[in-house]
Structure 1
């Protein structure tokens, strides 16, 4: 009896220690603003959600397993502040949903995760895919997130890297719908650079779309300069159309007082597969931090299409103009 009590006491102490070494964080973003858009055919004023940062609710946790190893997870759901609806009606945890293990040898994660371009947007995009300067309005992120993804990442001495394999899950064909991707980055002092690559095989295993992006920024103290160059080739997913495009991004952020930031970007898309189908986007924004968690923002941008291009418009050749103003809060 005494031995049983001693064993139970030891197990109870071990369980208490394990619980003390694990933690779960609840976090989120609530972002809403007013947008006015004229796409050359129609004009509309909206109350939008997630203009500066996508509105979301997330849970993440880390448990120390001892010996330098830890278990981790993250699940994240997007929602619309203006309506209260899920961002994706078919997926509650539409943003991220993964579990993994980490150690001094790196981190392995399994589940729905961000792709290499999206994961490094803060390195090459001064708008960080927010407001009207969002680089994904012209540069294809190929969905920004990938289902059924197995990743291995490692970071040390300023370098960061990740390899990704997305299971296509097509019966009898392991190549169909498969994703192979990764990135290599380096950040030290004022310099932050990254190269990313992604290859997505189509569902019929008849072709793939490839995306390679080289980008970076340099911090001068009061300002940060950004540049990126991307190449997309192969086939347009879901179609038989040929894909051969180039993207150039130039931008900057500059301090405006102690709590303000001015943002500017220029993006030029060149389509080598279709004639007269290029496009240009110019955008400027301003962010004013009321606190570490709350900010006011505004931005204006124009996306001009050549005669055969239809980016963000209903009629080829039209220009899309957007102005927005809003508030974002982290919790």
Structure 2
């Protein structure tokens, strides 16, 4: 549980460290053992607080820093608060948030993924490259009407003389009723060159993403279903992703979750397919400490092998010319 640093300030965090074995980690096809970040939740610490301004109005903020638990270095490019740096107000009019924050596409798509889009693609699926993950200079508005929630977000590109340069705009709708929830999002981002595609500046593209998804809870099990459509215009990458998953509370302390992704890619009239499956068994010693065992498998075909083997594919998804990867992890996580 968070602990109070001041009357209106909460210090909180999470440390999630794993030991991982994975295959095909270089061009020779060698396996690798490593200590790394969590399978699902990235390690972080942060500060958050609120102030009641009266009349139903509340001010709030979140400052959150990510770090690598195996080395202690700051993540997100070494930023102090690279995960979140946002201030906002809540009231009868809705909620407004300003600053560095998750993209609207990421918030919606992750809601319909049993692993909430696994951490930094350690388990193989590069979901953040479709959602944008986090955007700087963003203003977000959310308003609920009973079971219906509407949201909109705008990211300032801050390019002199070009209002649309580097900017992003998004909108979403979510409907909840009892055990059922469904949502949709549409997001357009200009001048994308930093997705996992590793685009050079000459191929900076407009990325258009839309997605549909839903969850249904039956007894102790929650089921997940979703579809994401991503398009990069200049670089000519088109991805369609279908994903299904489930999370079951086997006992009060033991949780089993699984997720399956099927991604088909079209680039320069060449096709490719990517299948990723992951499962995790999580045992909770308490509300703050748990241990888990995770297994994941990725299989690539066609253009996906070429894409994930490119030098610019600089993350854990690079298979170095091989068509598959098997991963096993055991992790220990503590929240404070």
TM-score, scaled to structure 1: 0.86
- Picking from 28, 41, 57, the partner of 2:13 is 28
Confirm or deny: 8 A CA contact 2:284 2:290 kept in the other structure. yes
Deviates more, 1:59-68 or 1:198-207: 198-207
> Residue 69 of structure 2 corresponds to which residue in structure 1?
81
In structure 1, the residue corresponding to 2:270 is in which secondary structure?
coil
Confirm or deny: 8 A CA contact 1:69 1:102 kept in the other structure. yes
> Residue 155 of structure 2 corresponds to which residue in structure 1?
166
CA distance in 1, matches of 2:282, 2:150: 31
- Compared with structure 1, are the counterparts of its residues 139 and 281 closer, same or farther at alpha carbon in structure 2 (3 Å cutoff)? farther
Confirm or deny: 8 A CA contact 1:34 1:45 kept in the other structure. yes
Deviation of 1:113 (Å) = 0.8
Deviation of 1:255 (Å) = 2.2
Deviation of 1:89 (Å) = 4.0
CA distance in 2, matches of 1:186, 1:70: 25
> Residue 313 of structure 2 corresponds to which residue in structure 1?
none
CA distance in 2, matches of 1:258, 1:307: 44
Confirm or deny: 8 A CA contact 2:104 2:172 kept in the other structure. yes
> Residue 298 of structure 1 corresponds to which residue in structure 2?
293
CA distance in 1, matches of 2:265, 2:14: 36
Instruction: Check if 1:185 corresponds to 2:174.
Output: yes
Query: Which runs of structure 2 are paired with 1:60-75 in the superposition (5 Å)?
Result: 60-75=48-63
Instruction: Check if 1:57 corresponds to 2:45.
Output: yes
- Picking from 177, 202, 207, the partner of 1:209 is 207
Query: Which runs of structure 2 are paired with 1:26-175 in the superposition (5 Å)?
Result: 26-39=11-24, 41-130=29-118, 136-137=125-126, 140-175=129-164
CA distance in 1, matches of 2:204, 2:23: 39
- Picking from 212, 222, 225, the partner of 2:223 is 225
Deviation of 1:276 (Å) = 3.5
What is the RMSD of the two structures over their aligned residues, measured on CA atoms? 2.3
Deviation of 1:134 (Å) = 5.5
Give per-residue Cα distances to partners, 1:146-175, cap 9 Å, x unaligned: 000011111231222221100001111011
- Compared with structure 1, are the counterparts of its residues 81 and 139 closer, same or farther at alpha carbon in structure 2 (3 Å cutoff)? closer
TM-score, scaled to structure 2: 0.85
In structure 2, the residue corresponding to 1:306 is in which secondary structure?
strand
Deviation of 1:121 (Å) = 4.6
Deviation of 1:277 (Å) = 1.5
CA distance in 2, matches of 1:39, 1:197: 36
Confirm or deny: 8 A CA contact 1:22 1:62 kept in the other structure. no
CA distance in 2, matches of 1:58, 1:230: 31
Confirm or deny: 8 A CA contact 1:22 1:63 kept in the other structure. no
CA distance in 2, matches of 1:218, 1:304: 28
Stretches of 4+ aligned residues off by more than 6 angstroms? 203-206
Aligned residues: 307
Give per-residue Cα distances to partners, 1:28-62, cap 9 Å, x unaligned: 10111101111362311111123231110111111
Structure 2's unaligned 5+ residue stretches are 1-5, 193-200, 309-316
> Residue 329 of structure 2 corresponds to which residue in structure 1?
324
**Pair member with larger Rg:** 1
Give per-residue Cα distances to partners, 1:82-128, cap 9 Å, x unaligned: 10110134411000101111111111111101012322355211112
CA distance in 2, matches of 1:309, 1:295: 35
- Compared with structure 1, are the counterparts of its residues 182 and 133 closer, same or farther at alpha carbon in structure 2 (3 Å cutoff)? farther
- Compared with structure 1, are the counterparts of its residues 207 and 141 closer, same or farther at alpha carbon in structure 2 (3 Å cutoff)? closer
Instruction: Check if 1:263 corresponds to 2:257.
Output: yes
- Compared with structure 1, are the counterparts of its residues 298 and 206 closer, same or farther at alpha carbon in structure 2 (3 Å cutoff)? closer
CA distance in 1, matches of 2:288, 2:214: 26
